[in-house]
Amino acid sequence: MKQGKYLNSASRFSLITLALLLSFSSIVFAQEATADEGAAESETTAAAQGGDAAAGKALFNANCAACHKLYSRATGPELYNVTERRDRDWLYRWIKNNKELRDSGDPEAIAIYEEYNQTAMNLFPQLTNADIDDILAYTDTPKPEPKAPVNAGGGAQGGGGGVSSTIILAILAVVLVMLVAVLFLVNNTLRKFAVAQGVELPVKESRKPIWKAFVENQFLVLVCVIVLLLGGAYFAYGWMMQVGVDQGYQPIQPIHYSHRIHAGDNQIECKYCHSSARTSKTSGIPSLNVCMNCHKSISEVADQTSEFSSVTEDYSKEFYDKEIQKLYKATGWDPATQSYSGETQAVEWVRIHKLPDFAYFNHSQHVSVAGVQCQTCHGPVEEMEIMYQNAPLTMGWCINCHRETDVKMDGNPYYEKIHEELSKKYGVEQLTAAQMGGLECGKCHY
């Protein structure tokens, strides 16, 4: 599936502007809202249980979030309202040293331990009772209501603009058609009146048809032929020059993986997943264990209520959650039992950037040695919802960069001697890749 990259740039531009405007306003509102909420909550909960939910949130994120979630099971059980289910003193003991509690033969503790496949929880002896109170205060925070009304309002406004403009255009078109019809009718009626009154209408002289006049004008014909030939040559050459160029190639992947969410919104460093770019000629697709490092505890995307939400109009939370389930299916992960079933199925990603095998390209040489930014060749990946090929990857494209790019000599002892000699030879301060021999056939094609 090929898609033009900038086909809907106009609408995208307007959307982005709108989104920017909205986000500014909503950020301001959100800050106020959370501040208010937090203040109110902390007052009530602190009064009731003697804990500070805001401080508890920080502690929770630092110590517990790796295994626990508030409203759903993770490695450990969900913690919302745990204070209602368990005795507070029991919780103190459990959190500080659950092993001791289990060893003491506490039936509740052993039951939990068995329920979670004998996965031992970390010990937190450093937490004071006050800290634990704070955390528990935080765990009692009820699930916030979706901020749907605000977003929906914005969405409706944004969408309304698009819909209404087409409607207006349609109305205008109808009006235009009606005007033409009315004019025609008026003209007809007037003519009939004139005939009835005996007024003679001027008869149009039959003129030479325009095509005949054109054919008889040799100069015009010649100019047109030349223009047509030049135009034909232009399009023929243009067509041939794009044969074998896959720029904009955007296939459907087996899992809807969004670089926008991972590399853009969450700012995961490119080389976290594509780690072999530093050391290998192939910057491979990350294996699924890299996915599971995080997705063991992230089984759902943040919904609209969260400030971390990446859900868009085009892709809902349900859509993304279903895609994460595909990952679990591939790795054999069961989020309910928090365990691997052992049934795995490799994800058959569709490769987008393909060079023929007679071209040798080495990622590490470009990434680690030359320090080329990922975006230089792959484009703004962090903005791509679906990955596409940004550069043409033709030889001319490679050559061009080698002609223009300076070699990074600083701090590389390999280049000390050669830099000096070659700089003298070419009379330059900085050597381009071409001057280093980066255009020789054998460098890429052996």
Partner 1 sequence: MSSHYEAPIREPLILGEKSYHDISVDVGAPILGKANKSWWIVFSIALIAFLWGLGCIVYTVTTGIGVWGLNKTIGWAWDITNFVWWVGIGHAGTLISAVLLLFRQKWRMAINRSAEAMTIFAVVQAGLFPIIHMGRPWLAYWVLPIPNQFGSLWVNFNSPLLWDVFAISTYLSVSLVFWWTGLLPDFAMIRDRTKSPFQQKIYGILSFGWSGRAKDWQRFEEVSLVLAGLATPLVLSVHTIVSFDFATSVVPGWHSTIFPPYFVAGAIFSGFAMVQTLLLVMRKVVNLENYITIVHIEFMNKVILLTGGIVTVAYLTEYFIGWYSGVPYENYTYLSFGAATGPYWWAFWALIICNLIVPLTLWVKKWRRNIVWTFIVALIINIGMWFERFDIIVICLSKDRLASSWSMFQPTFVDIGVFVGTIGFFFVLFLLYARTFPVIAQAEVKSILKSSGARYKRIRESGED
Q: What is the binding site for partner 1 (CB under 8 A)?
A: 241, 244-245, 392, 394-400
262 CB contacts (<8 Å, ≥6 apart)?
A: 268, 273
Minimum CB–partner distance for residue 394 and partner 1 (Å): 4
Smallest distance from the beta carbon of 366 to partner 1, in angstroms? Answer: 17
Residue 206 burial (C-beta neighbours within 10 Å; 0-12, 13-18, 19+): exposed
Alpha helices in 65-104 (DSSP H): 82-85, 88-96, 98-103
For residue 353, which amino acid is it?
H
Q: List residues bridging with 432 in a β-sheet.
A: 406
Nearest CB to partner 1, comparing residues 127 and 245: 245
Rounded to whole angstroms, the Cα distance separating 102 from 95 reads: 12
Nearer to partner 1, 266 or 400 (CB): 400
How far is 76 from 397, CA to CA, in rounded Å? 52
Residue 398: CB minimum distance to partner 1, A: 7
The nearest distance, CB 241 to partner 1, in angstroms, is 6
- Rg of the Cα atoms in the chain: 34
User: Between residues 394 and 423, which has the closer beta carbon with respect to partner 1?
Assistant: 394
Task: Please report how close the Cβ of residue 407 comes to partner 1 at its closest, in angstroms.
Answer: 18
CB atoms within 10 A of CB 116: 18
Q: Specify whether the CB–CB gap between 402 and 431 falls below 8 A.
A: no
C-alpha–C-alpha distance, residues 193 and 206, integer Å: 25
Two tokens at 191? Answer: 């003519």
Q: How far is the CB of 391 from partner 1 (least distance, A)?
A: 13
At 62, the amino acid letter reads: A
The least CB distance from residue 417 to partner 1, in Å, is 29
Shortest spacing between CB 249 and partner 1, in angstroms: 16
CA dist 227 and 229 (Å) reads: 5
In the complex, minimum distance from the CB of residue 376 to partner 1, in angstroms, rounded to a whole number:
17
Contacts of 285 (CB under 8 A, 6+ apart): 274, 349, 351
Residue 282 beta carbon to partner 1: minimum distance, rounded to whole angstroms:
24
- State which residue, 263 or 398, has the beta carbon closest to partner 1: 398
CA angle 352, 358, 362 (to 5 degrees): 65
For 425, the token pair is 């030879």
d(CA 412, CA 422): 15
Q: Tell me the two tokens of residue 323.
A: 């895609």
Task: Tell me whether residue 56 or residue 438 sits nearer to partner 1 (CB atom).
Answer: 438
Token output for 249: 């190639």
Whole-angstrom Cα distance, residue 430 to residue 432? Answer: 7
356 or 411: CB nearest partner 1: 356
CB distance 387 to 259 below 8 Å:
yes
Q: Shortest Cβ distance from residue 428 to partner 1 (Å)?
A: 21
Token pair of 144 as six digits: 């916030």
Which residues fall within 8 angstroms of residue 325, CB to CB, at 6 or more apart? Answer: none
C-beta closer to partner 1: residue 47 or 240: 240
Q: With beta carbons less than 8 A apart as the criterion, state whether 378 and 274 touch.
A: no
Using CA atoms, how far apart are residues 65 and 51, in angstroms rounded to an integer?
19
